């Protein structure tokens, strides 16, 4: 690129938390017949990409700047055959966002006619197999122009390995690479995104595009306590106690307290803890939507943080529509985008968005890259107890950025039974962790504490003890 452009983990959960990998079946990203599963970015794919005799080719010229998978991928092994003309230039994009510049906001693995006279003066990090503009291949392993070649790319968390014609040319830690090149290539920090191939104006051919997902659970997810169970006098005291108990921070915080947002966040930062999220929302009406204008002030104050906005959407499913919900979500999402914040839609029993499926559907319809979904165990068990948990998580996976859990009694409608300390109830938390791992969930997990009776510190201690038992040897 020069210009534009899961075997089951149930048993392992109690045995190891270090670099657990579950191999998934290999799938064909390209069916050899048409462009199903792919979309053109920056133009229509049909104008400059075509399929003939099992071969996908870029014809060059106007149309899509690159062709992208419709799904996001995080940890995977990707392989394909490619054929470049003399002086030909292309690239494979990985973990790239749908919007933005794929070789900057994502990662490009370069494809080039290395022997082309046109490229004799290029930098080493611009030849085939390179992480474009960041890391040169350790050796040249390309064939002559016009010959079929292979490239294989394996990404597991920060580790990225590249083989050209079965010769390893890249084996690097993306996290370390980002420390030196992340300012110019922020995509080195990305953990998930699209896979695609570049249109650089040349006639390039691809075939046998195959991918194997790799489910990983490298470490315990970050674990925070919901604000509604941390009943202590001040933010400083809350932070001190959560630090002492071993939590990673606090979340689902209410908008209004006696302390300023700045002071609350600062108190946790002083303890090297995170302020994961704020819980806010609005209500759909017959003539639009209403929400507290202080939400907008909150979003502005959170600029520069990585705090997530948990957004609930109240409303009546008989009188309100998805269109109503999308208008509200877009309004908040656009405000959040200006502050660099993400939003997760919060399913809540009795609200317009009351199921994880609702949250994912509205997130998709919002067409905003900073909108995802949250899975809340207690509300899932309350609203859709007969739904298939595995299937629900699988369908929501691309949009699932945050999860909440609690000790819960299955087949109960009582909130007191659905929201308990983590050591109580008959719901199998390890099974949920297994499902999340198999669907490559890498977000934080919060402890729902609403209306749990008893001493707050004791309750939090019992829950963190159970959480640690899930993960210890």
The pLDDT of residue 219 is: 64
Domain count along the chain: 2
Does residue 13 register a pLDDT over 90? no
Check residues 158 and 14 and name the one with the higher pLDDT: 158
Residues 44-63 have a mean pLDDT of 94
| φ/ψ of residue 281, rounded to 5 | -175, -170
Same domain, 182 and 264: no
Tell me the two tokens of residue 390.
């595995």
Same domain, 195 and 274: no
Give the domain-ending residue among 217, 244, 266: 217
Which DSSP letter does residue 211 get?
E
Does residue 156 belong to any structural domain of this protein? yes
Does residue 24 register a pLDDT over 90? no
d(CA 251, CA 444) in angstroms, rounded, equals: 10
Residues 21-50 have a mean pLDDT of 89
The pLDDT of residue 471 is: 81
Does residue 7 belong to any structural domain of this protein? no
Does residue 103 belong to any structural domain of this protein? yes
Does residue 230 register a pLDDT over 90? yes
- Please, are residues 401 and 372 in contact by the beta-carbon 8 Å criterion? yes
The pLDDT of residue 461 is: 98
Q: For residue 171, what is the domain's CATH number?
A: 2.60.120.560
pLDDT band of 157, cuts 50, 70, 90: confident
H-only helix segments in 339-428: 356-366, 377-383, 389-396, 415-418
3-state SS class at 69 = strand
Does residue 207 belong to any structural domain of this protein? yes
Handedness of CA 32, 35, 39, 42 (dihedral sign): positive
Does residue 11 register a pLDDT over 70? no
pLDDT digits (tens, 9 = 90+) for 268-323: 999 999 999 999 999 999 889 999 999 999 999 999 999 999 999 999 999 999 99
pLDDT digits (tens, 9 = 90+) for 381-424: 999 999 999 999 999 998 999 999 999 999 999 999 999 999 99
The pLDDT of residue 61 is: 86
Q: Which H helix or E strand runs over 89?
A: strand 89-96
Same domain, 185 and 242: no
Does residue 2 belong to any structural domain of this protein? no
Same domain, 446 and 336: yes
Tell me the two tokens of residue 139.
């050796």
The pLDDT of residue 434 is: 83
Same domain, 257 and 201: no
d(CA 94, CA 395) in angstroms, rounded, equals: 22
pTM value is 0.60
Quick one: which of 387, 315, 300 has its CA closest to 351? 315
d(CA 30, CA 73) in angstroms, rounded, equals: 15
d(CA 152, CA 79) in angstroms, rounded, equals: 4
Burial group, residue 225, by CB count within 10 angstroms (0-12, 13-18, 19+): buried
Lowest mean pLDDT among 21-35, 63-77, 159-173, 318-332: 21-35
Quick one: which of 228, 314, 243 has its CA closest to 277? 228
Characterise 454 by phi-psi region: left (phi > 0), alpha (psi -120 to 50), beta (else).
left
Same domain, 175 and 237: no
**Per-residue buried b or exposed e for 182-219, using 16+ beta carbons within 10 Å of the residue's own CB:** eeebebbbbeebbbbbbbbbbebbbbbbebebbbbbee
Does residue 4 belong to any structural domain of this protein? no
Angle at 125 between CA 123 and CA 130, to 5 degrees: 145
Give the domain-ending residue among 195, 217, 239: 217
- Chain center to CA of 459: 31
Q: For residue 291, what is the domain's CATH number?
A: 3.20.20.150
Does residue 341 belong to any structural domain of this protein? yes
d(CA 245, CA 32) in angstroms, rounded, equals: 55
Tell me the two tokens of residue 229.
């169970």
Give the domain-ending residue among 167, 192, 217: 217
Residues 322-344 have a mean pLDDT of 97
The pLDDT of residue 216 is: 60
Same domain, 54 and 200: yes
d(CA 78, CA 443) in angstroms, rounded, equals: 24
The pLDDT of residue 19 is: 42
Does residue 206 belong to any structural domain of this protein? yes
Same domain, 233 and 373: yes
The pLDDT of residue 8 is: 36
Same domain, 282 and 230: yes
Mean of the per-residue pLDDT values for the chain?
A: 92
d(CA 109, CA 80) in angstroms, rounded, equals: 12
Same domain, 332 and 466: yes
Lowest mean pLDDT among 81-90, 246-255, 371-380, 429-438: 429-438
Quick one: which of 401, 405, 377 has its CA closest to 464? 405
**Structural domain containing residue 167:** 12-217
Same domain, 187 and 227: no
The pLDDT of residue 12 is: 36
Same domain, 76 and 211: yes
């Amino acid at each position: 690129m020069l210009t534009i452009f899961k075997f089951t983990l149930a048993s392992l959960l109690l045995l190891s938390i270090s670099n657990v990998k579950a191999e998934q079946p290999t799938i064909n990203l390209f069916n050899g017949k048409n462009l199903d599963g792919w979309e053109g970015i920056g133009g229509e794919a049909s104008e400059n990409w075509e399929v003939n005799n099992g071969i996908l080719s870029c014809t060059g010229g106007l149309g899509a700047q690159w062709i992208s998978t419709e799904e996001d991928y995080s940890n995977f092994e990707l392989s394909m055959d490619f054929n470049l003309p003399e002086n030909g230039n292309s690239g494979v994009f990985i973990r790239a966002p749908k919007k933005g510049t794929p070789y900057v906001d994502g990662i490009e693995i370069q494809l080039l006619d290395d022997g082309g006279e046109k490229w004799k003066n290029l930098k080493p990090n611009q030849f085939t197999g390179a992480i474009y503009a960041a890391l040169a291949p350790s050796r040249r392993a390309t064939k002559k122009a016009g010959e079929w070649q292979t490239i294989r790319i394996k990404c597991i968390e920060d580790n990225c390995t590249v083989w050209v014609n079965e010769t390893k040319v890249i084996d690097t830690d993306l996290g370390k690479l980002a420390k030196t090149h992340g300012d110019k290539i922020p995509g080195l920090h990305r953990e998930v995104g699209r896979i695609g191939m570049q249109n650089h104006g040349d006639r390039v051919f691809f075939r046998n595009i195959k991918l194997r997902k790799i489910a990983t659970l490298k470490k315990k997810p970050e674990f925070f306590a919901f604000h509604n169970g941390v009943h202590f006098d001040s933010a400083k005291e809350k932070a001190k106690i959560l630090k002492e108990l071993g939590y990673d921070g606090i979340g689902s915080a209410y908008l209004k307290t006696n302390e300023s947002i700045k002071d609350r966040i600062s108190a946790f930062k002083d303890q090297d803890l995170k302020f994961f999220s704020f819980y806010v929302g609005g209500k759909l009406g017959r003539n639009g939507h209403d929400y507290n204008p202080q939400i907008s002030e909150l979003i502005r104050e959170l600029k520069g943080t990585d705090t997530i906005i948990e957004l609930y959407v109240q409303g009546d499913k008989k009188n309100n529509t998805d269109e109503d919900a999308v208008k509200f979500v877009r309004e908040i999402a656009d405000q959040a985008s200006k502050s660099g914040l993400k939003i997760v839609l919060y399913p809540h029993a009795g609200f317009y968005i009351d199921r994880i499926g609702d949250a994912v559907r509205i997130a998709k319809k919002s067409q905003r890259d900073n909108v995802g979904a949250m899975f809340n165990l207690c509300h899932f068990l309350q609203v859709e107890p007969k739904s298939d948990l595995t299937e629900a998580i699988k369908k929501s996976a691309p949009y699932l950025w945050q999860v909440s859990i609690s000790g819960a009694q299955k087949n109960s409608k009582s909130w007191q039974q659905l929201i308990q300390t983590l050591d109580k109830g008959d719901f199998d938390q390890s099974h949920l962790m297994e499902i999340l791992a198999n669907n490559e969930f890498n977000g934080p997990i919060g402890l729902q504490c609403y209306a749990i009776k008893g001493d707050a510190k004791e309750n939090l201690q019992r829950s963190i003890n159970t959480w640690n038992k899930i993960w210890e040897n």
